[in-house]
Amino acid sequence: LGLAGAGIGAVSAAAPVFHDVDELTASSGGVQKLPWWVKEREFKDPSVPIDWQNLPKMEGTFPYQARPTLSAQERYAMGIPGGSSGTWASPEQAQVLFDYMKKEFPGWEPGYAGLGDNRTTALFMATKFMRMGMWPGEINMGGNRVNVMQAILKAGGTATFPSFMGLRSSETLRPQDFGVPRWEGTPEENLLTLRQVVRFLGGCDVGAQEMDSDVFKLFHEQSGGKQLVIENVDEAAETPTKLVIPAKAKYILQWTARQPYESTRRQAGEYEDAAVYYSYQRFPFVGAIIQEFIHALGYTAVSTHMMGYHTNAIATLTGMGEHCRMSSPTLVPKYGTTNRAMWVMMTDMPLMSTKPIDFGVYDFCKTCGICADSCPFGLIEKGDPSWEATQPGTRPGFNGWRTNTTTCPHCPVCQSSCPFNTNGDGSSIHDLVRNTVSVTPVFNSFFANMEKTMGYGRKDSRDWWNIDDYTYGINTSY
């Protein structure tokens, strides 16, 4: 009771106050629909400190661990299941993970593919289809075995259907094709329009940020081997050597996609499960449609989709979430780390910039460390944040944490261990914790220890088949 009283008192004192309608509409909360206890910060001033003057650009995306060369059948013959398409773990890492899972969930076995029982494995295999927007390899069509990807590559296409300039389908009619004025709205109306489209297609929140020389540092020098440049041209272009962003396409649209909560916390094995793969199957389609919608309105929209920029760093600027100890995901106030990527595109459609947010996570992570303690390989940094590039393939210039992705096998442990994932279960204690954390760090250590004691985090993957889950695994009540 004493704790509750202290928390409620602190939260009440910090509740935002709007004096008139103009103040309310000037807040980006009208677009993002954030909980009232989430505070806004000034533009380009997220909760993680950034030294913009000394922040370097990165050449390319994070360096990932090389994929294993042994086939699944070869590994199975060695007595170490796994190694199916998409997995990153070496046989040695896989064995560490199997031992970890068996200790965590007594009776669990890796099965023939290193992912658990046959039903769980089958769902993983099915949801790999066209993951990341990749064209399928050899599939059955009309009674024939057809290698779709090879056929498209031979025709001059690429391995994935999302493209830098968008689909630009021959069936998409634009207003300028008929001499009709394009739709024009205010920057806020435009962002609300895109939020409606994102929600209609299955996404969640939207944010925006106007590009400048500082923000462009969060874009990589190249994407897919092509230089990523901004030029004073009317139209975007893709050549064999570069991707050209028109200078007028200075508005960054960012949107989020939720990942199924119950199946996320019930992953076990050498790799992330169907909760991740189905998200990577669905949302490249959604991104391509959003890009085509903007094109159909008469505007330019370009995107390198999941490559080309540090989307999670951009997310700290657009108010999608905060930097956290795991460093790779963005921690979101409403659903923790159960989001799958922070999608980005650039457009000349004027968009209202949304502000960075602060709900206490950056300070909470300094005390918590549950994800770092949970990592089977010790790859998530412990201790305080640092200004230095402490891990391979990372950069200095911000006072945060960095994960060693060069040896990370993308196992399912850390993401499902975060205390902020717990929400929407009707328990007022979780709301109280969030409210309190947002205004004072005094109880952070207590809350982290309470999470460890209560065990809200990871659950046995075998139990998922017996729960009454939501459509798409998403509770849309929050």
Residue 147 identity (one-letter amino acid): N
Q: How far is CA 309 from the centre of its chain?
A: 12
Alpha-carbon distance of 14 to 269, in angstroms, equals: 43
- Judge whether 292 and 172 are in contact, CB under 8 Å: yes
pLDDT of residue 436: 66
User: Which residue is listed with tokens 């068996």?
Assistant: 102
Give the C-alpha distances (Å, rounded to integers) separating 51 from 220, 317, 395.
18, 14, 12
- Backbone phi, psi, residue 324, to 5°: -135, 175
pLDDT of residue 424: 53
Query: In whole angstroms, how large is the CA radius of gyration of the chain?
Result: 23
> Pick the residue with more confidence: 224 or 147?
147
pLDDT of residue 328: 86
pLDDT of residue 86: 64
* Lowest mean per-residue pLDDT among 213-227, 292-306, 411-425: 411-425
- Judge whether 397 and 51 are in contact, CB under 8 Å: yes
Alpha-carbon distance of 220 to 216, in angstroms, equals: 8
Alpha-carbon distance of 297 to 359, in angstroms, equals: 36
State both tokens at 434: 């969030």
Q: What is the pLDDT of residues 264-286, one digit of tens each?
A: 999 999 988 899 989 989 999 99
Indicate the pLDDT class of residue 425, thresholds 50, 70 and 90: low
Nearest partner of 101 among 87, 89, 115, 118, judged by Cα: 115
The length of the chain in residues reads: 478
- Judge whether 365 and 441 are in contact, CB under 8 Å: no
Q: What is the pLDDT of residues 251-267, one digit of tens each?
A: 999 999 999 999 999 99
Q: What is the pLDDT of residues 30-65, one digit of tens each?
A: 687 788 889 999 999 999 999 999 999 987 766 677
Q: Which sign, positive or negative, has the C-alpha torsion 461, 335, 250, 45?
A: negative
pLDDT of residue 25: 40
Mean residue pLDDT across the chain? 86
Indicate the pLDDT class of residue 433, thresholds 50, 70 and 90: low
pLDDT of residue 224: 85
* Lowest mean per-residue pLDDT among 17-26, 206-215, 330-339: 17-26
Instruction: Specify the DSSP class assigned to residue 388.
Output: S
Looking at residues 132-154, what average pLDDT do you find? Answer: 95
3-state secondary structure at position 339: strand
pLDDT of residue 233: 97
Please tell me the pTM assigned to this model.
0.87
pLDDT of residue 61: 66
Alpha-carbon distance of 338 to 267, in angstroms, equals: 13
Alpha-carbon distance of 180 to 354, in angstroms, equals: 31
pLDDT of residue 6: 42
pLDDT of residue 89: 85
Alpha-carbon distance of 205 to 33, in angstroms, equals: 8
In sequence order, what DSSP letters do the residues of 16-85 get, joined into one string?
A: ----SHHHHHHSTHHHH---TTPEE--TT--SS-B-GGGPPPPSSSPPPPPPP-S-HHHHHHTT-----T
pLDDT of residue 20: 44
Q: What is the pLDDT of residues 64-98, one digit of tens each?
A: 777 667 777 888 888 888 776 667 888 889 999 99
pLDDT of residue 348: 98
Q: What is the pLDDT of residues 177-205, one digit of tens each?
A: 999 999 999 999 999 999 999 999 999 99
Strand order from edge to edge, sheet including 206-210: 206-210, 251-258, 339-347, 301-302
CB neighbours of residue 341 within 10 Å: 22
pLDDT tops 80 at residue 456: no
